[in-house]
Chains A and B, each alone.
Chain A
Amino acid sequence: MSMDGPTDKAADSGQPLVSLDGVNKWFGDLHVLQDISLQIARGEVIVVIGPSGSGKSTLCRCINRLESVQEGEIRLDGVLLPEEGKALARLRSDVGMVFQSFNLFAHKTILQNVTLGPIKVRGKSKAEAEKRGRELLERVGISNQADKVPAQLSGGQQQRAAIARALAMDPKVMLFDEPTSALDPEMINEVLDVMVSLARDGMTMVVVTHEMGFARKAADRVVFMDHGKIVEEATPETFFTAPRSDRAKDFLSKILTH
């Protein structure tokens, strides 16, 4: 699952889809990302875990430059992230993002949320965008909610709508920043199911989460972060059964005991 078919040129050349090289970021005196280097292949699913304050969300947000970095290079499909302006907007349109707090546009219906980007950024016609939008809502299982506004939906439904909104841009990679952390327990699975099916369909994904079940089921690689550094990278199986670092062992013992 980690590679697309042989017709995919970039995959053939072995060029990573997302590449972070020597990335450093500070919030004031706090060194939140310390010399991060990470290559993500096309179709790969990466789960980033770590204690709170480890920099995992910041790492995720740097990939579409919602956060800027002071040092290092981040490339998407070989292209250095533009600093700002239209070029940056264009790049972001290729990177889907799902937030912890959903962030659906509160004044628009679910369908309008999903069609805004395709119409305004991709220049699609309203009819075309709505047809595709309804297909995506169907795919995430909320087609009957299309004409409601976000506040009328449950958290799980809102997050699935947010995933549909990101998918509507046909992104090259999807970033998930703690997508289930704000959800009631019974709604977590409906969101994870959508994410697992995305992963099975070959979407490149970077997922910041504490959902170990998702990591085991769908991740190709687990990246463990602590204090702004990548401490350990491994397959889920290796990471969960035989973590190398003491820090990871300690973290896992804390979250797996319950």
Chain B
Amino acid sequence: MQAVLDNFAALWSGFLTTLAMSVSAAVIATIVGTLLAAFRVSPIPPLRAFGALYVQLVRNTPLTAVFFLVIFGLPSVDLTFQSFFVAAVVALSVYTSAFVCEVVRSGVNSVSAGQAEAARAIGLTFGQSLREVVLPQAFRTVVPPLGNIWIALVKNTAIAGGGFAVADLAQLAPDLARDNPAQVLGIFAGIALAYMVITVPSGIAVGIIERRTAILR
């Protein structure tokens, strides 16, 4: 563990990068995924088809392949990102939003049809009834699986550092191990612990959110 303490500054910087990637991608993926879910339950067939196609394409592709596509594929159509960090956030958001979409959609399906009918009956438009009545209830139902997705996302950020020049925790691990071959186990344990500093409190926070927002039915 001595190597971990000696390189605390680098570790701290890597930790902040991992945290920033996680939070940015979680926010974007949750918003985009919710929009995709709205597409998938909308009465407009082209939107439904788009949502379904997006989910099928992205969900069934390895995350590493999504990274390759964003970092090396998009520049060939003149779409480049200002840094690997931004590209990584894009790749993670694209990938995670497909999972968010399906979780939110299952939440929407869990809200009884009568709720949406009552919303329409007082004159709310489709968008309003989703926003005001259906989605708020759907989200409350899917807090635990959304928590799973957010935690998986934190760990998925490791691909950015492991494979693509983003200076995060995952990139730090082999670097430190190379420099301190005698302490490999301690270094990897330290790195793993740093991830848990993000994921374990996330899980606890999700549990608190679940209890606070529970609906009496």
For residue A97, CB closer than 8 A to chain B, the reply is: yes
Interchain CB contact (< 8 A) of B123 among A93, A99, A101, A152: A93
Per-residue interface assignment for chain A, residues 68 to 97, with 1 indicating a CB less than 8 Å from any chain B CB and 0 otherwise: 000000000000000011100111111111
Among B43, B121, B140, B217, residue most surrounded by chain A Cβ atoms (within 10 Å): B121
Among A89, A101, A121, residue most surrounded by chain B Cβ atoms (within 10 Å): A89
Q: Let me know if B216 and A149 touch, CB within 8 A.
A: yes
Among B115, B120, B137, residue most surrounded by chain A Cβ atoms (within 10 Å): B120
Question: Which of under 10, 10 to 19, 20 to 34, or 35 or more describes the interface residues of A?
Answer: 20 to 34
Interchain CB contact (< 8 A) of B122 among A85, A101, A152, A165: A165
For residue A117, CB closer than 8 A to chain B, the reply is: yes
Q: Let me know if A116 and B122 touch, CB within 8 A.
A: yes
Interchain CB contact (< 8 A) of B217 among A97, A101, A106, A166: A106
Q: Let me know if B121 and A120 touch, CB within 8 A.
A: no
For residue A104, CB closer than 8 A to chain B, the reply is: yes
For residue A39, CB closer than 8 A to chain B, the reply is: no
A250 to B124, CA, bound (A): 42
| Given A103-B114, A106-B115, A151-B216: A92 in contact with B136 (beta carbons within 8 A) | no
A94 to B125, CA, bound (A): 14
Q: How far is the CB of B99 from chain A (nearest CB, A)?
A: 24
A105 to B118, CA, bound (A): 8
**Chain B facing A: main interface SS:** helix
A-chain residues with CB within 8 Å of residue B216 when the two chains form the complex: 106, 149, 151-152
Q: Let me know if A104 and B122 touch, CB within 8 A.
A: no
Q: Let me know if B128 and A99 touch, CB within 8 A.
A: no
Please report the total number of B residues contacting A with Cβ < 8 Å: 22
Q: How far is the CB of A159 from chain B (nearest CB, A)?
A: 12
Per-residue interface assignment for chain B, residues 125 to 167, with 1 indicating a CB less than 8 Å from any chain A CB and 0 otherwise: 1001000110011001000000000000000000000000000
Interchain CB contact (< 8 A) of B124 among A64, A120, A151, A152: A120
B-chain residues with CB within 8 Å of residue A101 when the two chains form the complex: 114
A255 to B195, CA, bound (A): 68
Q: Let me know if B132 and A116 touch, CB within 8 A.
A: yes
Q: Let me know if B120 and A103 touch, CB within 8 A.
A: no
The 8 closest A-B pairs by CB, nearest first: A93-B123, A117-B122, A103-B118, A103-B114, A97-B121, A151-B216, A121-B123, A89-B125
Q: List 24 A-B contacts (CB under 8 A).
A: A66-B117, A89-B120, A89-B124, A89-B128, A91-B123, A92-B121, A95-B121, A97-B121, A97-B122, A99-B118, A103-B115, A105-B115, A105-B118, A105-B133, A106-B115, A106-B217, A107-B140, A116-B122, A116-B132, A116-B133, A121-B124, A152-B216, A166-B121, A169-B123
Residues of A within 8 A of B (CB): 64, 66, 84-86, 89-97, 99, 101, 103-107, 116-117, 120-121, 149, 151-152, 162, 165-166, 169
